Amino acid sequence: MINPNPLAAAVSVASLVHQRQNPQAILNSIVRSVAGVIGVAVASADGRSLAHSDDLMHDPSRSAMIAATMGLAGQLMSMVGGRELEEVIVRSDTGIVIVYAVGKEGVLTVLARPSINLHHINSEVRSRADSLRTVVRGGR
């Protein structure tokens, strides 16, 4: 069947290219894709803020705190003989903070409501792993 609107494909391809190149667009797409996500931020492993979703205000101390959390978690992981840290999850009665390693050079922080589907957010983050690594490498 012939596409009745040939511009529709061009627009979606253009938006995909924009999303893969624009750090904020990548983070905003995670917020839009998973019900319960409040905001998303990415930082370098040394605590430098690289980008955040529209829902979060710029907060350099958050990036430093998250990078320190991943450093500590890496030390704790070595106690069980792990080689590569994947994520740290902090739960409270009002929300969840999930911190993902983005290679060895960065961290992704997801702030979410306590009702979030962890499997869904894990799938969304992993599907964007290459784009996130590009954001971290570009921010160095």
| Residue spans of the chain under pLDDT 70 | 1-21, 139-140
For residue 139, the model assigns a pLDDT of 58
For residue 118, the model assigns a pLDDT of 93
Count the domains in the chain. Answer: 1
Domain membership of residue 60 (yes or no) is yes
For residue 92, the model assigns a pLDDT of 95
CATH code, domain carrying 35: 3.30.450.30
Which structure tokens are listed for 122? Answer: 């894990």
Domain membership of residue 1 (yes or no) is no
Domain that holds residue 108: 6-138
Whole-prediction pTM: 0.79
Dump pLDDT digits (tens) for 11-37. 343 444 444 568 889 999 999 999 999
For residue 57, the model assigns a pLDDT of 85
